[in-house]
Chain A
């Protein structure tokens, strides 16, 4: 048997060209998402079977209009072609959209100039007839001196021909596309050529003009690069000249090979734009879509979420009653199972949210929202593109903050990252739900609106107001001077492809489960350990309690309860709770709530499971967590522990506090420094403390 051959393929292309469709078509479910070393940009890779003996290892690079990057995402494309030696692609597949071939060829011409085998894939060929487009493929191949394949990724047309072209990549001509360098400045480029003998001329030019940290370069090369960087404004002029020359070259080729019959071009785009970007209707439609999103996240997902909740608590009970008693059983029943349950319960919401968001992005509508919202968001230090992170934040801040990557202005991106955690994420929901149920009467206002529902809505509004207001503050405070590079494409409308949407949902959900989930699970186990272990006084709990109460002649079950409660108080976590009690007393909390505040620093929803753990450790009755919390008495006043002022104070605290380790970690990764994570942590916690204090003081 012959050795198995692997061809490394880099998939590049403009956004909205159907590059993802092609990637999904080539690799199917054989794909995985990892991170590029050192940066957070997701690396999508997959394998495709080309023939019985040949496999392609495909990297789906982020969509970009040019190899000159203007955002963190686009930078990856440049790095992939300049930096990574071990993963340097054998062949580049440049995906172009038939309608915007001119602009797509711009990127193709740059890739081709790197002198690597490049295949031009013209996608959406099924649209050609409708749009009145005709292309002379043979002539185009000849003019570009490259392989050209016409495909429709959605309809799976031409994919086999592309595979064939990839297999034969060695036969593709790798000479530069046009003698652009000499036409810009022959003297300058001759000097570049003689200085950098080992690499292609265009690669050398990119190294000179891109002020990136090419960590893998040796010092000699770095010095050479530096020597060409003296006159920055001249370099910029040359880059502009390069752009103009590339377009001249492309125009000349397209004149011969590409024809559009304008009469056949449809007016649908024009009509839809008139309505969707209308000064009034545009906003009305957007508001309607937002309401639909919220409705679906909170209403349509409650059934699967309740179901998951019930299944996990049943599983936990089953383990407790059917496994032999011991440390392992306890860890499983009280640590691991509730921990996993706490992650799985959010899957329906996150999946639903990304299902809807990816439909909006696939159709091209999201760009219209960016267009409509840009001016408004700019007043609050953000960009129109910040709308997507802020909406995503209602499910989970972690993917939301990652979605801020395509905001090209650093200040706008930073403000978006900093304020996104204020939006009411789904982890706050269980906290809100249980406290609202405890302190807000189940009555109706004006006979229609449920008071509990109105409170929840008010909390959502509070989250958005907090995000917007802090954005405004940061906008005024942060002294970052930079030019904003706001240029977005308004893509043509198209029907979303269900396959692409489902792949996105799968990918985002996996990222949440394995990213945030790991932290939540780990902390649940740590928490379990801290609550079921302690110093000497914990270990001797039975003895101490029996001795001090020996005169009382208590029945066995009451004695057990006293022991359990003594144990909790003297466990490590109990000691921690007691330590912070003086600090949180002004907010109306005791040490048990203190424990929950501490543990829920990991993730907000842990608040509920911690209280469940605390009260179940104390009391082994099968009452629900809500009943146990309602029965809890404040030792100082003799009244209910969770009364109205305490409940409201907790709600306000959770609305503002930065209670999420996952978010802190992601902010650190996205901003490359702990500075902003810490600012967020202390700023938000201080704000939460003060406002909770105010709430409690006013109400009690």
Chain B
């Protein structure tokens, strides 16, 4: 299973690895949500949906179904990868 934005806990950060262009609206990309950019989970609505994220300088709210599609690497994992 890939790690996605939906797996972040509040305050956690990650780097976007992959966005399935076919199923994600172009608008999301246009608002700055692009591969290689850092994404931070700022707040979760009740029932963990929608998600309030900060990405590439933009503050956005997206639904969980969309968040589940965007593959990331969590930032602490990233650090470990670099160390090892």
Task: Please give, as numbers and ranges, the residues of chain B lying within 8 Å of A87 by CB-CB distance.
Answer: none
Are B61 and A370 in contact, with the CB atoms below 8 A? yes
- A224 on interface, CB distance cutoff 8 Å: no
Are B56 and A490 in contact, with the CB atoms below 8 A? no
Task: Please give, as numbers and ranges, the residues of chain A lying within 8 Å of B32 by CB-CB distance.
Answer: 102-103, 106, 247
Contact of B50 among A273, A279, A486 (CB under 8 A): A486
Are B50 and A65 in contact, with the CB atoms below 8 A? no
Contact of A100 among B28, B58, B65 (CB under 8 A): B58
- A173 on interface, CB distance cutoff 8 Å: no
Are B27 and A244 in contact, with the CB atoms below 8 A? no
CA A100 – CA B54 in complex, angstroms? 12
- A483 on interface, CB distance cutoff 8 Å: yes
Task: Please give, as numbers and ranges, the residues of chain A lying within 8 Å of B45 by CB-CB distance.
Answer: 277, 279, 371-372, 374-375
- A136 on interface, CB distance cutoff 8 Å: no
Are A371 and B61 in contact, with the CB atoms below 8 A? yes
- B78 on interface, CB distance cutoff 8 Å: no
- Chain A contributes a number of interface residues (CB within 8 A of B) equal to 38
Q: Which chain A residue has the least Cβ–Cβ distance from B25?
A: A485
**Number of contact residues on B: which range applies?**
20 to 34
Chain B residues 50 to 67 lying within 8 A of chain A, measured CB to CB, are: 50, 52, 56-63, 65-66
Task: Please give, as numbers and ranges, the residues of chain B lying within 8 Å of A239 by CB-CB distance.
Answer: 26
- B75 on interface, CB distance cutoff 8 Å: no
Task: Please give, as numbers and ranges, the residues of chain A lying within 8 Å of B65 by CB-CB distance.
Answer: 484
> Could you tell me the dominant secondary structure of chain A's interface residues?
helix
Q: Which chain A residue has the least Cβ–Cβ distance from B64?
A: A375
Q: A100-B57, A489-B60 are in contact. Are A384 and B22 (CB under 8 A)?
A: no
Task: Please give, as numbers and ranges, the residues of chain B lying within 8 Å of A371 by CB-CB distance.
Answer: 43, 45, 50, 52, 61
CA A485 – CA B52 in complex, angstroms? 15
* B32, B43, B46, B60 pick with most chain A CB within 10 angstroms: B43
- A240 on interface, CB distance cutoff 8 Å: yes
- A70 on interface, CB distance cutoff 8 Å: yes
Are B50 and A485 in contact, with the CB atoms below 8 A? no
Q: Which chain B residue has the least Cβ–Cβ distance from A488?
A: B61
- A236 on interface, CB distance cutoff 8 Å: yes
CA A370 – CA B61 in complex, angstroms? 9
Mark A365-396 against chain B: 1 for CB-CB distance below 8 A, else 0: 00100111011000000001000000000000
- B30 on interface, CB distance cutoff 8 Å: yes
Contact of B30 among A233, A243, A270, A491 (CB under 8 A): A243
CA A102 – CA B37 in complex, angstroms? 13
CA A489 – CA B54 in complex, angstroms? 10
Q: How far is the CB of A287 from chain B (nearest CB, A)?
A: 14
CA A106 – CA B47 in complex, angstroms? 33
Contact of B34 among A233, A236, A243, A490 (CB under 8 A): A243
Q: Which chain A residue has the least Cβ–Cβ distance from B42?
A: A273
Q: Which chain B residue has the least Cβ–Cβ distance from A244?
A: B34
Contact of A367 among B31, B61, B62, B66 (CB under 8 A): B61
Are A273 and B43 in contact, with the CB atoms below 8 A? yes
Are B21 and A240 in contact, with the CB atoms below 8 A? yes
CA A371 – CA B22 in complex, angstroms? 25
Task: Please give, as numbers and ranges, the residues of chain B lying within 8 Å of A273 by CB-CB distance.
Answer: 42-43, 52
CA A485 – CA B31 in complex, angstroms? 13
Q: A65-B31, A487-B62, A488-B61 are in contact. Are A237 and B50 (CB under 8 A)?
A: no
Task: Please give, as numbers and ranges, the residues of chain B lying within 8 Å of A47 by CB-CB distance.
Answer: none
CA A484 – CA B28 in complex, angstroms? 12
- B23 on interface, CB distance cutoff 8 Å: yes
A-B contact count (CB 8 A): 105
Task: Please give, as numbers and ranges, the residues of chain B lying within 8 Å of A65 by CB-CB distance.
Answer: 27, 30-31
Are A243 and B61 in contact, with the CB atoms below 8 A? no
Task: Please give, as numbers and ranges, the residues of chain B lying within 8 Å of A66 by CB-CB distance.
Answer: 26-27, 30
Mark A62-91 against chain B: 1 for CB-CB distance below 8 A, else 0: 000110101000000000000000000000
Q: How far is the CB of A352 from chain B (nearest CB, A)?
A: 29
Are B29 and A243 in contact, with the CB atoms below 8 A? yes
- B49 on interface, CB distance cutoff 8 Å: yes
Are A485 and B61 in contact, with the CB atoms below 8 A? no
Q: How far is the CB of A116 from chain B (nearest CB, A)?
A: 20
Contact of B63 among A274, A484, A492 (CB under 8 A): A484
Mark A215-251 against chain B: 1 for CB-CB distance below 8 A, else 0: 0000000000000000001001101100110010000
Q: How far is the CB of B37 from chain A (nearest CB, A)?
A: 9
Q: Which chain A residue has the least Cβ–Cβ distance from B43?
A: A277
Q: Which chain A residue has the least Cβ–Cβ distance from B49?
A: A375
Contact of A374 among B26, B31, B42, B50 (CB under 8 A): B50
Q: Which chain B residue has the least Cβ–Cβ distance from A247?
A: B34
CA A484 – CA B58 in complex, angstroms? 20
CA A279 – CA B25 in complex, angstroms? 28
Q: Which chain A residue has the least Cβ–Cβ distance from B65?
A: A484
Q: Which chain A residue has the least Cβ–Cβ distance from B57?
A: A102
Contact of A486 among B35, B52, B56, B66 (CB under 8 A): B66
Task: Please give, as numbers and ranges, the residues of chain B lying within 8 Å of A240 by CB-CB distance.
Answer: 21, 26, 29
Are B25 and A487 in contact, with the CB atoms below 8 A? yes
Are A70 and B27 in contact, with the CB atoms below 8 A? yes
Q: How far is the CB of B39 from chain A (nearest CB, A)?
A: 13
Mark B63-77 against chain A: 1 for CB-CB distance below 8 A, else 0: 101100000000000
CA A617 – CA B62 in complex, angstroms? 60
Are B21 and A236 in contact, with the CB atoms below 8 A? yes
Chain B residues 5 to 30 lying within 8 A of chain A, measured CB to CB, are: 21-23, 25-30
CA A68 – CA B28 in complex, angstroms? 12
Task: Please give, as numbers and ranges, the residues of chain A lying within 8 Å of B56 by CB-CB distance.
Answer: 102-103, 247
Chain A residues 75 to 124 lying within 8 A of chain B, measured CB to CB, are: 100, 102-103, 106
Task: Please give, as numbers and ranges, the residues of chain A lying within 8 Å of B57 by CB-CB distance.
Answer: 100, 102-103
Q: Which residues of A contact B (CB under 8 A)?
A: 65-66, 68, 70, 100, 102-103, 106, 233, 236-237, 239-240, 243-244, 247, 270, 273-274, 277, 279, 367, 370-372, 374-375, 384, 483-492
Write 15 A-B pairs (CB below 8 A) sorted by A numbering: A65-B31, A103-B57, A237-B21, A240-B26, A243-B29, A243-B34, A247-B56, A273-B43, A371-B45, A375-B47, A375-B49, A484-B63, A486-B61, A486-B62, A487-B31
- Going nearest first, the 5 A-B pairs with the smallest beta carbon separation are A490-B59, A485-B25, A66-B30, A240-B21, A243-B29
Q: Which residues of B contact A (CB under 8 A)?
A: 21-23, 25-32, 34-35, 42-43, 45-47, 49-50, 52, 56-63, 65-66
Known: A100-B58, A371-B45. 6 other contacts (CB 8 A): A65-B30, A103-B32, A240-B26, A372-B46, A374-B63, A489-B31
